[in-house]
């Protein structure tokens, strides 16, 4: 018989070699967590413009739309979702961020639009994540099992959930970092313009003061008198 899965590593410590099937299972769970997700896009929305996206869905399917305005104006945008029959199932105006979930009732093309038509000079940068359907289980026949999960399977499920939370947190902090950077650049631009304006004002005031002081000490010669006798 070959060596067992366990081997003694040293006094008071035991190293257990994970079986190849379980290693494959955990690796699949990790890759599933990293690869899970829907369509993520970042788009530029000009002033007085609207951008629409279309997705064909089956009936009885769940979809989720998350969006957030990263930069531009007051960080707000209009958003609405229509079903294949033209019925508006979601509509919000001047929102900075929001999330919408819906189970489809009819098969066809669903449309969701972002509108910046209320703004006449502010361009917006909008991020959105569109996910369709529920995430499949990471373990085969996980929903139909009658026996409890093993310790290693439970650990794989726990790692999978933690990785999903990490991915969501990274996305959230990337969006916050992009939004804060946009605000910082906008503030830096305003400070730069204000500094240039103050410099010009000081320059003009300095020249005016010099001219005024010079006029105080300039000798004014009297005009010549009448012709002598």
Residue 115 has what pLDDT?
A: 93
Lowest-pLDDT choice from 31-45, 66-80, 128-142: 31-45
Residues in a beta bridge with 103: 62
Residue 123 has what pLDDT?
A: 87
pLDDT category of residue 37 using cuts at 50, 70 and 90: very low
Check: CB of residue 56 under 8 Å from CB of residue 104.
no
Domain borders along the chain are: 36-136
Residue that the structure tokens 């970042």 belong to: 42
Lowest-pLDDT choice from 70-74, 118-122, 174-178: 174-178
Model confidence pTM above 0.75: no
Residue 51 has what pLDDT?
A: 92
Residue 90 has what pLDDT?
A: 95
Which residue, 133, 112, 143, is CA-closest to 60? Answer: 133
Residue 21 has what pLDDT?
A: 41
d(CA 150, CA 143): 15
Using CB atoms within 10 A of its CB, is residue 227 exposed (0-12), middle (13-18) or buried (19+)? exposed
| Pair type for strands 13-16 and 6-10 | antiparallel
Domain 36-136 has CATH 2.60.120.380: yes
pLDDT in tens, 74-90: 889 999 999 999 999 99
> What is the residue-averaged pLDDT of the chain?
77
Which residue, 28, 36, 21, 35, is CA-closest to 156? Answer: 28
Angle between helices 20-35 and 151-217 (to 10 degrees): 30
Check: CB of residue 77 under 8 Å from CB of residue 119.
no
Q: What is the mean pLDDT of residues 25-46?
A: 60
Q: What b/e sequence results for 188-208 when a residue is b if at least 16 CB atoms lie within 10 Å of its CB, and e otherwise?
A: eeeeeeeeeeeeeeeeeeeee
């Amino acid at each position: 018989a070959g060596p067992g899965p366990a081997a003694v590593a040293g006094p008071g410590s035991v190293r257990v070699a994970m079986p190849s099937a379980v290693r494959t299972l955990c690796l699949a769970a990790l890759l599933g967590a990293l690869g899970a997700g829907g369509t993520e896009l970042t788009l530029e929305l000009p002033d007085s413009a609207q951008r629409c996206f279309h997705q064909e869905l089956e009936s009885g399917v769940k979809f989720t739309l998350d969006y957030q305005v990263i930069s531009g104006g007051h960080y707000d945008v209009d958003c609405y979702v229509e079903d294949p029959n033209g019925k508006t199932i979601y509509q919000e105006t001047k929102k900075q961020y929001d999330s919408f979930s819906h189970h489809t009732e009819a098969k066809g093309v669903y449309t969701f639009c972002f509108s910046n038509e209320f703004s006449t000079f502010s361009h917006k940068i909008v991020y959105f994540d569109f996910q369709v359907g529920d995430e499949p289980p990471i373990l085969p026949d996980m929903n139909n099992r009658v026996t409890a999960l093993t310790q290693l399977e439970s650990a794989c499920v726990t790692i999978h959930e933690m990785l999903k939370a990490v991915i969501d947190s990274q996305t959230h902090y990337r969006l916050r970092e992009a939004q804060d950077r946009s605000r910082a650049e906008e503030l830096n631009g305003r400070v730069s313009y204000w500094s240039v304006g103050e410099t010009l004002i000081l320059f003009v005031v300095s020249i005016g003061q010099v001219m005024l002081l010079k006029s105080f000490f300039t000798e004014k010669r009297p005009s010549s008198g009448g012709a002598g006798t």
